Amino acid sequence: MRDIDHLYIDGTRTRPLEGTVTERTHPADGSPTGRVVMGGAADVDRAVTAAERAFDTWSRTTPAERIALLENVLAEFDRRSEELVEAVTEDMGAPVTLAREGHVPTGRLQITGTIEAAKGYAFEERHGSTVIRREPVGPAGLITPWNFPVLQMAGKTASALAAGCTVVLKPAELAARCATLFAEIMDAAGTPAGVFNLVHGDGAGAGNALASHPGIGVVSFTGSLATAVRVTTAAAPTMKRVLTELGGKSPHILLPDADFGIAVATVRQWMMAMTGQLCSAPTRTLVPRARLEEFLSVLVPSLEALTVGDPRDPATDMGPLVSGTQWNTVQEWIRRGLSEGARVVTGGPGKPEVPAALEAGHHVRPTVFTDVTNDMAIAREEIFGPVMAVIAYDTVEEAIAIANDTPYGLAAYVVGADRERVDEVAARVRAGAVLLNDAEFDWNAPWGGYKQSGNGREFGVEGMVGFLETKVVHGG
């Protein structure tokens, strides 16, 4: 049991003024792990006031000074990396191996990538007698999700600080332990008072107060489209910049000459390892109709061989969903798919077989639907669970049209042997990132989506630029 009963404001641990309490439970077995005492609008105001006060000094630091702080943060991050691994597994139920080899290292890459971006970035350029300066927008409000907590907190914070902004972080309630550890890392790194602040709280209270606060110059939000609309609406009266990274219904296009071994590896890594709780998960797999049964004969045994169970066990391939609420949501989507006429070829409603000690956990069966058409709700809406919609197509032109027939545009996946055709399809898909043949992912390339998958970009130089404003000095 571990209670989280404090915020981090102006360089000190402090109790919330409002003090709403949320119980924490472990996703794997439902056992209590402690409580979170959350803050509200008054606490956000305290944090923003501290960030405004610190901004006057921090915004005038040199890039080298900001880089030095991030290097200290990196050292503390490394020192406490195993604690972060444990926190990710406890907060969201991610398998410990994935937390150790994926979640925490990708958070580290966000810090190192931002350091390199800041080292090579021209914050000031001269064109004759004209000087172009990139200056920090102002105090930044960061609202982060529970499904990639370390990466998101590290990435947004590093980008904002490198730009010269101060920070107020409002993490997801379900990632409270990860966030508290991150605040301790920032403190131990010697972050000046007010430069980094943390307020635990829910969206309706703390999140809305942060987005609407006149002292905040830029909001960076990652989460659902519905919440993004509320954040943007709250921010609109003050005309502050709002950066969003939202959901997706990413197509996984298997071309006629695709290697199904590569395709299944993509599904296992980018969907099932995260229990489908990934905004860029390849949830719509498009397969040539003539090869559909062949694909299913490779996919289904691979998914049925996954070890679903305790995320604290290194042998586990897929852990639970994050909460009972999410479990119920995913079950409803599976029932809806059946009611729409789709056919389950593996998985389906209910829980998988797990040890008795895990029966109260939020475990779910990896589920694959076929006989899916792209107008079905399970092919159009983000489910955020391990539920695949397999759609058959007759021509590559049809596959591209189906891939683009979505309000989202975060990611896409293309698998095929003919590289020229793979590249052509990738060029025609409307998505912010396209992964070809399960290639290695570049965590410092720009990340973000088209259409209703958000605006702005994260990671590396692009992530930092979102926190900068342009000033032109004529006759400088």
pLDDT band per the 50, 70, 90 thresholds, residue 377: very high
Given a contact cutoff of 8 angstroms between Cβ atoms, the answer to whether 51 and 194 are in contact is yes
The pLDDT assigned to 238 comes to 97
State how far the Cα of 53 lies from the Cα of 63, in Å rounded to an integer: 20
Question: Is residue 1 over pLDDT 80?
Answer: no
Q: Which of 90, 279, 382, 458 is catalytic?
A: 279
pLDDT band per the 50, 70, 90 thresholds, residue 18: confident
On the CB side of 324, CA atoms within 13 Å amount to 10
CA angle 337, 332, 366 (to 5 degrees): 70
Domain spans of the chain, in order of start: 7-246+452-474, 251-443
Question: Is residue 42 over pLDDT 80?
Answer: yes
Given a contact cutoff of 8 angstroms between Cβ atoms, the answer to whether 208 and 219 are in contact is no
Work out the number of other CB atoms within 10 angstroms of the CB of residue 82: 12
Average pLDDT over residues 39-60: 98
Query: Catalytic residue at 462?
Result: no
Which pTM was predicted? 0.96
pLDDT tens, residue by residue, 345-370: 999 999 999 999 999 999 999 999 99
Q: Which of 52, 76, 90, 245 is catalytic?
A: 245
Superfamily per CATH, domain 7-246+452-474:
Aldehyde Dehydrogenase; Chain A, domain 1 (3.40.605.10)
The pLDDT assigned to 49 comes to 98
State how far the Cα of 285 lies from the Cα of 302, in Å rounded to an integer: 15
Residues above pLDDT 90, as percent of the chain: 98
Chain mean position to CA 222: 6
Evaluated on CA atoms 27, 95, 246, 466, the torsion sign reads positive
pLDDT tens, residue by residue, 177-223: 999 999 999 999 999 999 999 999 999 999 999 999 999 999 999 99
On the CB side of 461, CA atoms within 13 Å amount to 7
State how far the Cα of 276 lies from the Cα of 271, in Å rounded to an integer: 5
**Three state DSSP letters for 103-145:** HHHHHHHHHHHHHHHHHHCCCEEEECCEEEEEEECCCEEEECC
The pLDDT assigned to 19 comes to 78
The pLDDT assigned to 2 comes to 85
Question: Using CB atoms within 10 A of its CB, is residue 171 exposed (0-12), middle (13-18) or buried (19+)?
Answer: buried
Query: Catalytic residue at 245?
Result: yes
Q: Which residues pair with 7 in a beta bridge?
A: 14
State how far the Cα of 437 lies from the Cα of 138, in Å rounded to an integer: 41
pLDDT band per the 50, 70, 90 thresholds, residue 100: very high
Question: Using CB atoms within 10 A of its CB, is residue 253 exposed (0-12), middle (13-18) or buried (19+)?
Answer: buried
Q: Which fold has domain 251-443?
A: Aldehyde Dehydrogenase; Chain A, domain 2 (3.40.309)
Token pair for 176:
């409270």
Token pair for 473:
């000095």
pLDDT band per the 50, 70, 90 thresholds, residue 415: very high
